[in-house]
Structure 1
């Protein structure tokens, strides 16, 4: 079998910072504002009825801004004695990603705050999956 080698010409685009965001406690994260997600919330119903599977390092399923959106979990790692129902996020990345997607709390709102999430833990505490 012959493997094709792709020659990708990658260029970085210069950017400028238009607005700097610091701290927490605002109603939505900067990225939600930046991509203008709120402008389509009425049309998209804030993700209501949409089910999203996030394959990552797990999730803090008791997080006050996420717990109501999580509808299923599955652990595919060797952690926690391979218990399929334990998806503790020891890296933090999966929780962050899920928060960006659907945080729906008093302090922060994600892109699709009414979406439902399946947490699929495939990355362990060392970042191996």
Structure 2
């Protein structure tokens, strides 16, 4: 099945935010959309320029609750900043004409729970949630 066919049958909008958004603003977006596991960072033209996952954000905001064992944890403990400073700018996206089966394994290997579908200009068209793919597979198995 192509991404465009999935989005037509199972529309799911991605939640986006500005690179200048604060980490607490990003956390509020996650809390306002409990089904969302990934936020997409978009520039002023609406192009996807980054990604911020729930686990990454939670680790940053809850660092003060963990004992410091490494230099990385120490840096995270004292870091605040904006989304741009913490986002992953290597976002695995798929095009509407790609088959889900061709890209799914790349996303699963990176433990990404949502697959953003973008147009030729990298504007977000929608999101394919791995949980929704799993539900459909279970339904078809019954």
Query: TM-score over 0.5 for the alignment?
Result: no
TM-score (norm 2): 0.21
